[in-house]
Structure 1
C-alpha cells in the first residue's frame, strides 16, 4: 500500500497503465493471502489487532478502488 503513490507516478511518467494494473494485482494478491490468516475464528471476540487488520483491509480497498478508477474501471461497492 505504501508503494501505491510511487507506482502511480511511475506509470504516468512512462505512460504505462499496465504498471498500474500489475500493481493493483499484486496488492489484491497480498491482501487475499493475508486476510484468511487473520480473521477471528469461531466465537473469538475481535481485539484491537482485529480492528487494525480491518483498517488495513479498508485501506487496501481504497487503494484498489482508486487504482481501478485511474484505469477507467468502476469498482464494485462490495466483493
Structure 2
C-alpha cells in the first residue's frame, strides 16, 4: 500500500505548485495539503516497517 501511495503522489507532485507569477489557488492549497498528508502516511508506514524516513527529500 505504501508503494501505491508513493506512486500516486509522484504522479501529480509537479502540478502542486503554481507556475511563475501565478497566484496559488484553492486547488493548489488542497494539493499541498494532500501531499503533506501523503508524506505523513508514508513516514508512519515506513516507521511501522522499521525504516527511518528522511525529514525532506
On whether the aligned pair clears a TM of 0.5, the verdict is: yes
TM-score by length of 1: 0.67
Greater share of helix: 1
Aligned-partner Cα distance in 2 for 1:37–1:76: 23
- How many residues are aligned here? 57
Q: Which runs of 4+ in 1 moved over 2 A?
A: none
Which residue does 1:37 correspond to in 2? Answer: 15
Q: How many angstroms does 1:55 deviate by?
A: 0.4
Cα RMSD (Å): 1.0
Secondary structure, aligned partner of 1:59: helix
Unaligned segments of structure 2, at least 5 residues: none
1:53 and 1:39, CA in 2 relative to 1: closer, same or farther beyond 3 A?
Answer: same
